[in-house]
Amino acid sequence: MFTNAYSTLFQHIRRLYLCIDNSTKDNHILVYFFLSHITSRLDLVECQKMRLFKPIIAAHRRYGSSALSAQKWIYAKTFKGEPNQQNFRLEKEELPALKDGEFLAQAQYISVDPYMRPYMMAYPEGSLMIGGQVGKVLESKNTSFPAGATVFGQFGWRTHTVCNPSDQPMNGPYTYVLPDFGSLPPSLGLGVLGMPGNTAYFGLLELCNPKEGETVVVSGAAGAVGSLVGQIAKLKGCRAIGIAGSDAKCHWLKSIGFDGTINYKTTNNILADLKKIAPKGIDVYFDNVGGQISEAAIKLMNLYGRIAVCGTISNYNTSIEKVTDPMRMMVYKQLKMEGFTVWRWTDRWTEGIAANLKWIQEGKLKWQETVTEGFENTPAALIDMLKGGNTGKAVVKV
Ligand SMILES: NC(=O)c1ccc[n+]([C@@H]2O[C@H](COP(=O)([O-])OP(=O)(O)OC[C@H]3O[C@@H](n4cnc5c(N)ncnc54)[C@H](OP(=O)(O)O)[C@@H]3O)[C@@H](O)[C@H]2O)c1
């Protein structure tokens, strides 16, 4: 017999199922004890001979974060070439009880981003996989992060996190309560209303100063950052050209307002295609990829052109390509080329989110997500994104 009992006694235990077997010959009752804990998974299954009151005590011991088990993905083997499943290992970790200033968050969405590939090379094997996530605060001893709040945190690839925000470095937006997105999904806090959105917003507007009538070319155009760069360029009255890796991606870019697209995987001559599609030359190049695509774009830059170097994904899995030295072009065309990381605008973080949110609400900025279901598929989502499997932002729904 299964009874759904005691669940109201312990608010952090969703369901307590007891299977009671009275048929034993001694005085004990055999109690099968199943807990559906706040992980929303059946994470505890006990079966033992005990008196009926014993399960209540056992349940109480399990109560709270003191015995909550988190799942986490470990960087098990140093990346070599394209990442594969052998680079990752799933582990469990018992979480401690909350101390003053701490809160417990449950991951809802985990971000997979290109930077994870090169950045993890600096970490020893056995490290937690790094990365941002959007989660729900389950318990809190920190009034700035109350229970029920939806937060962004640089918690890494883990289902549950005990966090004390004051222990974190002060040089970046590591943990914050998400602004009110209205009816938009919280996962956007990892994309257009988070780090990639701010990368596009500040990288394009602050470094490239796009002016009405100018031609803006963006590589990695159908991804989280690139798709926004082209649209923001359009909002500033520019002509937007996107370079992406499939016809379907190019089609989507056209549907959200890009004036021209190139599928770099099917073209025989990217320089010739760019010349055709940007007959007046390029005023702004937003570089997400580096390598041969960037070599071609830089050759077509106009006088006083601006180049924002955002990323070089073409060489994250491979050695750096040899391309033509662009320095002569830099001089003759008096170009400005600047690399950046988005953390430069940490003190203006909410400004970028608010601007992108307003454009979305006005119907001027479109977003797309590629959602992988299940925490267990987080490595697969990263592997797939690095191969171009995503359109828009790649996220994992936990
Ligand atoms: N500087 C910063 O602060 C900052 C912040 C965020 C991101 N970034 C950089 O910005 C770039 C885009 O990031 P994201 O988050 O928006 O990722 P994303 O574009 O959503 O996803 C990565 C995309 O890169 C493309 N790609 C993979 N291998 C490639 C190759 N060999 N050549 C050309 N394209 C390739 C794939 O699309 P295709 O199908 O088109 O190949 C893939 O979908 C990355 O370089 C990233 O490191 C920099």
Domains of the chain, residue spans = 2-63, 68-183+369-397, 195-344
Q: Which helix (H) or strand (E) holds 329?
A: helix 327-332
Task: Give residue 238's pLDDT.
Answer: 98
CA of 155 to the centre of ligand 1 (A): 22
Task: Give residue 52's pLDDT.
Answer: 30
pLDDT in tens, 198-245: 999 999 999 999 999 999 999 999 999 999 999 999 999 999 999 999
Residues flanking ligand 1, CB < 6 Å:
113-115, 196, 199, 220, 222-226, 244-246, 249, 288-289, 310-314, 340-342, 385-386, 388, 390, 394
CA of 349 to the centre of ligand 1 (A): 21
CA of 53 to the centre of ligand 1 (A): 57
Nearest CA to ligand 1 atom 36: 388
Nearest CA to ligand 1 atom 12: 288
CA 4 to CA 19: how far, in whole Å? 10
CA of 154 to the centre of ligand 1 (A): 20
- Model's pTM, two decimal places? 0.85
CA of 76 to the centre of ligand 1 (A): 24
Q: Which atom of ligand 1 is nearest to the CA of 114?
A: 47
Written as six digits, the tokens of 58 are: 């056992």
Q: Are 393 and 369 spatial neighbours (Cβ–Cβ below 8 Å)?
A: yes
For the domain spanning 195-344, the CATH number is 3.40.50.720
Place of tokens 């014993």: 54
CA 25 to CA 22: how far, in whole Å? 8
Low-confidence ranges of the chain (pLDDT < 50): 1-65
Q: Are 287 and 225 spatial neighbours (Cβ–Cβ below 8 Å)?
A: no
CA of 288 to the centre of ligand 1 (A): 6
To test the ligand 1 pocket, which listed residue (111, 266, 288, 371) has its Cβ within 8 A of the most ligand atoms?
Answer: 288
Q: Does domain 68-183+369-397 have CATH number 3.40.50.12160?
A: no
